[in-house]
C-alpha cells in the first residue's frame, strides 16, 4: 500500500529535474513515476482473434489504453477487461495515479497471419543448447509464441550460445517465397540478444539480408520480430545465417557472445 506522510514545512518552488531514478525531483521529496502496466497476450500470432489482458495492482492506480498505436492520455479508455483483437494491431497502455507521474507507454503488437502459410521443415546447425532445446526444432514453425520469461516456458524457446547459427529450410514441394520473419527474445540480464545480422541464401547466393541494431542498455525485455524480404522466387530450400552479438561494453558479460533465443520462424508465400 502507499500513502504520503505529511510534513508542514515551507514549500520550495524550483525547476524540475528528471532523474534516472524514474522520478521527478525538485528540492525536497521526489515525485516518483508509475511503472508500465503488466500485459498478457494470449497469442502473438493468431488466425482469428487474440486477447490482451492488462494489470497494475496498486491502490489508486488505473490503466488506460488505446489501439492502432495511438498515444494514451488521462482521457483514454480505462481498462476493465481483456481486449479482443480481430486484426493485426498495436495496443498502447499506461498506468495513472493521482499522486504519481503516469507511466511510460507500454506497446504490444499482435499479428494476424494467413492460415495457408506453407510450413517449412527446419534444421539448425548447431543443435540448440541442451538446456534450451524446448520441445524440439518443430516449435519454430508451430505458430506459438514463447513467454517473455523464458525460464517459465521450457517448451517454446530454443537457445544457442554461438557466434554463428545456421538454419536450413526445406519445403515438401518448391514454393514461391517472398519474405521470412524470425522471432527472437531480447533479455539483457540473461545475456540474450537478437542476432546482429541475418543473411538468407539460396545455393550460397544471398537472396535477402537484415541488419539489426544492437539494443541499447535501457531496452526492455521484449520480443523482437525481424522481417526479411527476399528475392521472390520459387524455392525448394533456403539457408538462413544468423550472426550473434558481442555483448557490449556496458554489459556485465562484455566481449562474450550473446545467446540467441528464437521461438518462431514464419515464411510468407508469393502473392498471386
Partner 1 sequence: MLTISWPEMNRRDFLDKGLKALLAIGVLDINQRDELVIGHGDFRYTIDVNWGALNPEFFPVQDCHEMVFDRLGRLILLTNHTRNNVLIYDRSGKLLDHWGTTYPGAHGLTLKDEGGEEFLYLTDTVRHEVIKTTLDGREVMTLPYPRAMEAYSSANTYLPTETAIADNGDIYVADGYGMQYILQYNSRGELLRYFGGRGEGDGQFLNAHGICIDNRSGREELLITARQMNALKRFSMDGKHQQTIPLPGCYICRPVVHTDSVYLATIWSGNGSARTGFLSILDRSNHLVSAPGGATPRYEEGSLRKMYQAIQVFQHPHDVCVDADENLYVAQWNAGGTYPLKLNRV
- Contacting positions for partner 1 (CB under 8 A): 1-16, 20-35, 38, 56-59, 61, 99-100, 131, 148-149, 151-152, 154, 187-190, 217-222, 250, 252-253
**Nearest-approach distance from CB 36 to partner 1, in angstroms:** 9
Q: How far is the CB of 134 from partner 1 (least distance, A)?
A: 13
Q: Which residues pair with 21 in a beta bridge?
A: none
Nearest residue (CB) to partner 1, 175 versus 221? 221
Three cell numbers written together for 132: 534450451
Mention every residue, 6+ apart, whose C-beta is less than 8 A from residue 152: none
CB of 99 to partner 1, least distance (A): 8
Minimum distance from residue 62 beta carbon to partner 1 (Å): 13
Please report, to the nearest 10 degrees, the dihedral formed by the alpha carbons of residues 42, 47, 48, 54 taken in order: 20
160-182 burial, b for 16+ CB within 10 Å, e for fewer?
Answer: bbbeebebebebeeebebebbbb
Integer CA distances (angstroms), 107 to 53, 77, 85, in order: 13, 15, 14
Nearer to partner 1, 106 or 167 (CB): 106
Residue pair 247/193 in contact (Cβ under 8 Å)? The answer is yes
- Residue (10 or 205) nearer to partner 1, CB: 10
The smaller minimum CB distance to partner 1, of residues 120 and 192, is found at: 192
By beta-carbon proximity to partner 1, the closer residue of 5 and 203 is 5
Shortest distance, CB of residue 220 to partner 1, whole angstroms? 4
What are the backbone angles phi and psi of residue 139, rounded to the nearest 5°? -65, -20
Name the minimum Å distance from CB 236 to partner 1: 39
* Cβ nearer to partner 1, comparing 193 with 235: 193
Q: Closest by alpha carbon to 83, among 47, 54, 58, 46?
A: 54
Amino acid at each position: 500500500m502507499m500513502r504520503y506522510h505529511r510534513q508542514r514545512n515551507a514549500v520550495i518552488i524550483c525547476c524540475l529535474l528528471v532523474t534516472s531514478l524514474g522520478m521527478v525531483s525538485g528540492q525536497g521529496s521526489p515525485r516518483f513515476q508509475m511503472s508500465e502496466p503488466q500485459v498478457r497476450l494470449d497469442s502473438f500470432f493468431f488466425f482469428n482473434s487474440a486477447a490482451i489482458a492488462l494489470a497494475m495492482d496498486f491502490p489508486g492506480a488505473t490503466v488506460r489504453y488505446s489501439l492502432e498505436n495511438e498515444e494514451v492520455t488521462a482521457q483514454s479508455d480505462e481498462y476493465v477487461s481483456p481486449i479482443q483483437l480481430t486484426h493485426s494491431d498495436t495496443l498502447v497502455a499506461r498506468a495513472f495515479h493521482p499522486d504519481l507521474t503516469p507511466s511510460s507507454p507500454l506497446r504490444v503488437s499482435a499479428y494476424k497471419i494467413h492460415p495457408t502459410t506453407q510450413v517449412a521443415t527446419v534444421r539448425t546447425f548447431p543443435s540448440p543448447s541442451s538446456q534450451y532445446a524446448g520441445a524440439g526444432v518443430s516449435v519454430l514453425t508451430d505458430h506459438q509464441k514463447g513467454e517473455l520469461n523464458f525460464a517459465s516456458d521450457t517448451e517454446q524457446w530454443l537457445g544457442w550460445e554461438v557466434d554463428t547459427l545456421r538454419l536450413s529450410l526445406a519445403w515438401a514441394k518448391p514454393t514461391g517465397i517472398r519474405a521470412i520473419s524470425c522471432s527472437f527474445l531480447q533479455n539483457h540480464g540473461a545475456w540474450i540478444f537478437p542476432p546482429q545480422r541475418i543473411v538468407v541464401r539460396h545455393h550460397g547466393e544471398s537472396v535477402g539480408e537484415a541488419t539489426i541494431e544492437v539494443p541499447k542498455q535501457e531496452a526492455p525485455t521484449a520480443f523482437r520480430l525481424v522481417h526479411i524480404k527476399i528475392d521472390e522466387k520459387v524455392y525448394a530450400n533456403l539457408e538462413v545465417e544468423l550472426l550473434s552479438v558481442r555483448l557490449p561494453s556496458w554489459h556485465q558479460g562484455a566481449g562474450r557472445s550473446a545467446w540467441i533465443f528464437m521461438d518462431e520462424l514464419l515464411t510468407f508465400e508469393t502473392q498471386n
